[in-house]
Amino acid sequence: MIHPADTTPEVLRYAAFTDAGRGGNPAGVVLDAGGLDDAARVEVAARVGYSETAFVEAGEEKDHFRVRYFSPRAEVAFCGHATIATAVAIAQRQGAGTLHLSTLAGPITVDTEITADGVTATLTSVPTRTRPTRADELDGALVALRWAHDDLDPRYPAHVAHAGNDHLVLAVRERARLAALDYDYAALAALMERHGWTTAHLVWAESPTLFHARDPFPPGGVVEDPATGAAAAAFGGYLRDLGLVGVPSRVTVLQGADMGRPSRLVVDVLAGDERVKVTGTAAPIPPDGPGD
């Protein structure tokens, strides 16, 4: 297999889930990754320095691809924002349409469309599921986050939600508590590693269908993710399963504003379907553009 020392693959850089053309979450995309082994992919992802880089291999048909996702530390089963970035990159090269992606989390379809705002992409998640947190999980998370039980919004029970990866879901009563997030990185990293959580999806409900979110991502070596499509999908399934939104419903998640990278994720909860759709835009990052 080929290592970066042998050849340097072209890495495209996109900001996914931008909000009115601003912010978004940077992702790397390698469209021809067939010659790279796992060690090489981790090395490339580390050099890129974003929370995830997608490595794409062409399938037997034009619209079929195998995609694997690597953080600067390790492989993750699924990454929503890197999927949106990948789909937009492919659409810009071969035209809009439906893409069929094979991922470690399962098959993912992504519909791309060319609009006045550029290319938008809508991913359909794997079937979602959710469960209540155990008392020890919740207590450990609150200690690491430096929060108290009274900070939590009782309308939104603490859960672990899944849409390819597991995400801790915690809702707070006050927007100010979310804005002031200052957590114990080492403690949360250890807790998340122990329980296999990919991010902590921390939210405040402005309304039943409009949420502000912050997503610590210590397992990827990242203090905070400015837009997390997999967590948004898992959250949509959580809202559906707990009867917190009607079905069908459209939910907007605003993320990244507190870290200066405003992002917008549109989540569609479907009728009669355990899957969730997440829509966003993505824009190329210029060579002198922002990093993670």
Asked if pLDDT for residue 217 goes beyond 50, the answer is yes
The verdict on 138 and 278 lying in the same domain is yes
| CA pair distance 5, 64, nearest whole angstrom | 29
The verdict on 79 and 95 lying in the same domain is yes
Domain's final residue, options 124, 150, 178 = 124
Asked if pLDDT for residue 7 goes beyond 70, the answer is no
Instruction: Give the model confidence (pLDDT) of 240-282 as tens digits.
Output: 999 999 999 999 999 999 999 999 999 999 999 999 999 999 9
| CA pair distance 74, 271, nearest whole angstrom | 35
User: Quick check: is 290 in a domain?
Assistant: no
CATH of the domain at 133: 3.10.310.10
The verdict on 117 and 145 lying in the same domain is no
Dihedral sign computed on CA atoms, order 258, 262, 268, 273: negative
| Structure tokens given for 54 | 């997608």
Domain's final residue, options 65, 95, 124 = 124
- Note down the domain range covering 50: 12-124
**3 state SS of 256:** coil
User: Quick check: is 109 in a domain?
Assistant: yes
The verdict on 86 and 43 lying in the same domain is yes
User: Quick check: is 6 in a domain?
Assistant: no
Instruction: Give the model confidence (pLDDT) of 47-60 as tens digits.
Output: 999 999 999 999 98
Mean pLDDT value across the chain: 94
Q: Identify the helix (H) or strand (E) that includes residue 230.
A: helix 229-241
Query: What contacts 178, CB < 8 A, 6 or more positions away?
Result: 172, 202, 203, 204, 212, 214, 258
Beta partners for residue 55, in sequence order: 30, 68
User: Quick check: is 3 in a domain?
Assistant: no
Which residue's entry shows tokens 């190329």? Answer: 284
Kindly report the pTM of this predicted structure.
0.91
